[in-house]
Structure 1
Amino acid sequence: MADHHYDAIVVGSGISGGWAAKELTEKGLKVLLLERGRNIEHIKDYHNAHKEAWDYPHRGEPTRQMKADYPVLSRDYPLNEQTLGMWADEQANPYVERQRFDWFRGYHVGGRSLLWGRQSYRWSPADFEANQREGVAVDWPIRYEDLAPWYDYVERFAGIAGTREGLDILPDGEFLPPIPLNRVEKDVAARLEQSFGGRRHLIHSRVANITQPKPEQNRVNCQFRNKCWLGCPYGGYFSTQSATLPVAMATGNLTLRPFSIVTQVLYDKDRGRARGVEVLDAENGQTYEYTADVVFLNASTFNSTWVLMNSATDVWPGGLGSSSGELGHNVMDHHFRAGASGEIEGYRDTYYFGRRPAGFYIPRFRNVGDDRRDYLRGFGYQGSASRERWDREVAEVSHGAELKQALSQPGGWSIGMTAFGEMLPRHANRISLDHGVTDAWGLPVLAMDVGLGDNERAMRRDMVQDAVDMLEAAGVQNVTPEEGDYAPGMGIHEMGTARMGRDPATSVLNAHNQVWDAPNVYVTDGACMTSSSCVNPSLTYMALTARAVDHAVRELKRGNLA
């Protein structure tokens, strides 16, 4: 017997889960929102939001003990004193690396919506058509036109700062005023336009930092503190806590249950429908069942797929949604850490206001129009120009009053950019359950077997060289090509493993994000992605989720999900 029945269950409270909860409750459904980690309350639990470097025992830097406790996080910037406790406990939540995979997870209410980079771009029509045109993987079952009104909808609510540019490769949206470019960035933008005949564009970043207040959401505009990853007490950026969760709670239709690890979707094979989920309480170890008419899986790309693979194994050994043989396959990320930087002479009389949470963006220009490369797809650049601060080294002055005086003045200007490249979906890139390794609750863990292909490796050469060429064309001095250590997962944009498609024989989900084998189960986080584009994916997750909820509620009313 179920412990409780709801109209809908949402698994996961991050960007897509928060949207699912908001949309379902606003449409009148009684909803249970399940989160495997602890609760973090807006404002009250942002303990480090007002701290500076000197407020931390080690000035914010990771300690040896932290590196021992978080060996994966220590590979990159996420491990630091400021966000300690905001990332999943690696000792309690291990995974197996058949190939190196840097999996950075946030197990708490809000998930990575509290930690994300906020870059928010629409996919282009070409992104939805590329698989079919190039014979890669399977065709998307939707096109840009299907998602465009939902992009409009989520942008207006979330608040996206940006500018309309009229570029086919990067569609315009419903924008708030942009976070401004500084003088150097504006000049570099003009030089690039001239040097490349208007074929390359340096534009304002499009980010989910509101530049005008949203009083109806109790959100104040961005304060230019650049402390977003610590939780914003002003609600200056979009997160579950600041935006979707308060709306869902205000309806009176939401029940939030943290410390709830969903171990499987409960499947009724006679009806061919899910009847709810099984939950393992992370605190007391007890198991509970909750039933619902519809289930939304938004536990993050890999965890949603973990739940599917651990469900209905008496019917399908590979789990619910595995009948196509594609569940767990086609892992994608955005490969990055390839670009260039340099120094800019002059502008010593110019500075900028505050600490911007964003810089500039250069949209994709490779394999666009009549440009053809020896690889498929392309990449875009994120970057910024700034002046060196007090923490720079002053070679001419080693100590004393002269050093203090030198450090009280801003240093020279520099500019840098890194490309984010599209990773093709390949069946060989996969995750699977490893029953030989278990987590702190005795559950099987995921094994990662993901690597870059020849297409990505060929692309990375241009990602570096094009950055060098553009900076040199813009008059930047001492340009240095840069290609750092990258492994899949490091982009924190993991996608795929339960892809959408047109045919149940080759995909896990249909055009409305329903599991072919259980149409009252929807998956709208990164697991659903059929390809990866080269732009940050979170805005697309939001739009897909709002669209899927609209479909689910209509189907419930028609009795098609019973």
Structure 2
Amino acid sequence: MNLNIKAQEQNTYDAIVIGSGVSGGWAAKELSEKGLKVLMLDRGKKLEHVKDYETATKDPWEFTHRGRITVDQRETHPKLSRDYPYSEHNEKYWINDSESPYNEVKRFDWYRPDIVGGKSIMWGRQSYRLSDIDFEANLKDGIAVDWPIRYKDIAPWYDYVEKFAGISGTREGLPQLPDGQFMPAMEMNCVEKDVKAAVESKYKGRIITMGRVANITKPLPGRESCQFRNLCSRGCPFGAYFSTQSSTLPAAMATGNLTLRPDSIVNSVIYDEKQGKATGVRVIDKHTKEMVEYYAKIIFINGSTLGSTFVMLNSTSSRFPNGLGNDSGVLGKYLMDHHFRTGASGTAEGYDDKYFFGRRANGIYVPRYRNIGSDKRDYLRGFGYQGGASRGGWSRGIAEMGVGKDFKEMLTEPGKWSMGLGGFGECLPYEDNVVTLDTSVKDAWGQPVLKFDAEFKENEKKMRVDMMNDAAEMLEAAGLKNVKTYDNGSYPGMAIHEMGTARMGRDPKTSVLNGFNQMHAVKNVFVTDGSCMTSAACVNPSLTYMALTARAVDYAVKELKKGNI
């Protein structure tokens, strides 16, 4: 008996954070800086900053398969290998589909990292604020439920996280895209500047700005400015972009209050019915498959939208037979992602004597302009564009049947200038876009798997027509030639902006979390990753997860000190 008590004491912390990605890193930093003893759990293997970025400085010819994946890798990663994120450049960072399968009623591309730091190592780094146009949209449209917060509630927290993370960008004064605390923006190249001038002179309300990106343009403590290498997804040895490893983890470790435990698969949250609160978590050791329990006063669930939803659905008890905190029955419903892979591109003439600096890890951004003010379309919400201009490099010759001296000399000169615009559109929250537990299939650790049944519907399909045609119209208006449109199709999951399955709301009967990301039904559990989102907006969401996390920790610690949780 004494041994058990001692073991429980050794495994007890003030707070447990599940997941170490963008939001989990912030939770660990904020909790430990406020003096709590924190345990951060992640299913991924340890990835040490700089030392473990094995491919970060490799040249193209140093990769056996020149960046491509093998037939064997396609077979062991049948879903992960469908699209671009999984490559030879960072293949060790991703989960093995065959060990951790999932099922689909309809296609869903789920990109899961297998490293400490999660997707913060591989993310696209575009960082935008939601506005009241987004926070009020559900209420005005009579869709889903109202957000329990407004822009004024989160604005100071956007300020707070931007200053620490380091966001470069330009202030534009747009109500639909609030300005932030920016480092100097990266520079547009000559074609982008001319297209910007042409578009803004011909279309009232359409702005082309530099992407707001978590690549720093001025040094921060322990981090150097972006080197314009554009190899970010391999891990940045300069710490030039925000990641857990470069930013929040060092800050948390510096307090002496953080314990990091990698290779720890969180199976479920332990709920004590007598106390009416969560007391800890059950963890499966990835290698030994031993189940271990850890205990804490506060639990932050930050395992990414779908990882967190799995943990909550799998945390059943007589009080919560359908998943932790799931009195409303909406846990796993209203799954959203952005839809993209449609737009246009064209060639720019008259710039053959000009080139650009480095390999800028960023592009231009066109903020949403549809369904704003007097603009009314035959669909709800809107979209933004990401894109940029560049000149063709030597790789343009790969598909050619050219040989000989003239061909080789041609490839030593830059190719033609081209520019593209690709849309990112908002997906509405639909009750029947769901993810559930499938107990008929087990992963390598004997756990049930997730099953997806989600799709983009008519509203998104109508929006895609504008996303494609508007892009072509703007490029043609700016004088580009050979403008071609494309729609390569988009399945949920592809944009890697999945969200919404444990949404915030005002009413416990229709939502899982309150306005502070606190479970309505379990007051000492907080969820601040993408699963908390009530609607999707059309902007990249990670900055919002950071701000919501810092805000939730501030609230949680104050409530803990008051004895309310």
TM over 0.5: yes
Structure 2 residue aligned with 1:532: 536
Q: d(CA) in 2 for partners of 1:417 and 1:316? A: 47
Match of 1:134 among 141, 149, 153: 141
Aligned to 1:13: 20
- For residue 519 of structure 1, give the secondary structure of its aligned residue in structure 2: coil
Amino acid corresponding to residue 518 of structure 2 in structure 1: Q
393-402 vs 484-493, which moves further: 393-402
Larger mean Cα displacement after TM superposition, 34-43 or 307-316: 307-316
Q: CA deviation at 1:314?
A: 2.2
**2: CA distance, partners of 1:475 / 1:298:** 46
> Does residue 50 of structure 1 match 2:54?
no
> Residue 404 of structure 1: SS of its match in structure 2?
helix
Say if 1:513 and 1:528, in contact at 8 Å, map to a contact too: yes
Aligned counterpart in structure 1 of residue 120 of structure 2, from 88, 113, 117? 113
Deviation at 1:73, TM superposition (A): 2.1
Residue in structure 2 matched with residue 210 of structure 1 by the alignment = 216
The CA deviation string for residues 444-487 of structure 1, in whole angstroms up to 9 with x for no partner, is: 00000001111111111111111111111111111111100311
The amino acid that maps onto 2:330 is: E
Cα-to-partner distance string for 1:263-312 (whole Å, 9 max, x where unaligned): 11110112211111111111111111111000000000011111111113
Aligned positions of 1:457-536 closer than 5 A: 457-536=461-540
Corresponding residue number in structure 2 for 1:200: 206
> Could you tell me how far 1:400 is from its partner in structure 2?
1.6
**C-alpha RMSD of the superposition:** 1.1
Q: In the alignment, is the contact (CA less than 8 A) between 2:189 and 2:356 conserved in 1? A: yes
Rate the CA distance shift 1:7–1:465 in 2: closer, same or farther, 3 A.
Answer: same
- The normalised TM-score by structure 2 is 0.98
Which residue is equivalent to 2:436?
432
Contact 1:25–1:31 (Cα < 8 Å) also in 2? yes
- What's 1:60 paired with? 67
For 1:302 and 1:272, the matched residues in 2 are separated by 25
Partner of 2:197: 190
Alignment of structure 1 residues 118-517 onto 2, 5 Å: 118-197=125-204, 199-214=205-220, 216=221, 218-393=222-397, 398-517=402-521
CA offsets per residue over residues 414-473 of structure 1, 9 Å max, x none? 001110000000110010000000100000000000011111111111111111111111
Superposed CA deviations along residues 173-225 of structure 1, whole A, max 9, x for unmatched, are 0000111110100000000011113x1111100000000011x2x00000000
- The alpha-carbon distance between structure 1 residues 26 and 347, as it changes in their structure 2 partners (threshold 3 A), is same
Distance 1:490 1:313 in 2: 34
Shift of 1:394: 9.0
SS in 1 for 2:136: helix
Residue identity opposite 2:530 in structure 1: G
Matching residue's letter, 1:515: M
Shift of 1:74: 2.0
State the alpha-carbon separation in 1 of the partners of residues 142 and 317 from structure 2: 32
Q: Secondary structure at the match of 1:85?
A: helix
TM-score (norm 1): 0.98
Residue identity matched to 1:213: P
Deviations 1:488-533 (A, max 9, x none): 1000000011000000000000011011110100000000000000
For structure 1, the residue ranges without an aligned partner over 5 or more in a row are: none
CA contact (8 A) 1:397 1:403 kept: no
The farther-off stretch of 523-532 and 397-406 is 397-406
Checking the alignment, whether the CA contact within 8 Å between 1:137 and 1:426 is kept in structure 2 is yes
Kindly provide the CA deviation profile for residues 70-92 of structure 1, in whole angstroms up to 9, marking residues without a partner as x. Answer: 11122111121111111111111
What residue in structure 2 maps to residue 92 of structure 1?
99
Distance 1:42 1:175 in 2: 25
* CA–CA distance in structure 1, aligned partners of residues 394 and 521 of structure 2: 59
CA positional deviation for 1:396? 9.5
Q: 2-side partners of 1:219 and 1:461: how far apart?
A: 42
Instruction: State the AA in 1 paired with 2:147.
Output: W
Match in the other structure for 1:547: 551
TM-superposition CA deviations, 1:222-275 (whole Å, max 9, x none): 000000000000000000000000000010000000111111111011221111
Asked if structure 2 preserves the Cα contact closer than 8 Å seen for 1:309 and 1:320, the reply is: yes
What secondary structure, in the 3-state scheme, does the structure 2 residue paired with 1:518 have? coil
Partner-residue secondary structure (3-state), 1:8: strand
1:446 match: secondary structure: strand
The CA deviation string for residues 321-359 of structure 1, in whole angstroms up to 9 with x for no partner, is: 211010110000000001001111110111011000001
Q: Distance in 2 between matches of 1:475 and 1:45?
A: 46
Q: Could you tell me how far apart the structure 2 residues matched to 1:139 and 1:249 are?
A: 38
Could you give the per-residue CA deviations for residues 390-430 of structure 1, whole angstroms, max 9, x where no partner exists?
Answer: 11139998212211211111011000111000000011001
Equivalents in 2 of 1:188, 1:488: separation in Å? 31
* Alignment size in residue pairs: 558
Q: Is the 8 A contact 1:433 1:444 kept in 2?
A: yes
- Name the CA distance, whole Å, in 2 between partners of 1:172 and 1:396: 45
Offset from partner CA, 1:42-88 (integer Å, 9 cap, x none): 00100000012100111111222221121112211112111111111
Matched, 1:34 2:38: no
The one-letter amino acid paired with 2:366 is I
Check the 8 A contact 2:298/2:525 in 1, yes or no: yes
Quote the Cα distance in structure 2 between the aligned partners of 1:314 and 1:432: 19
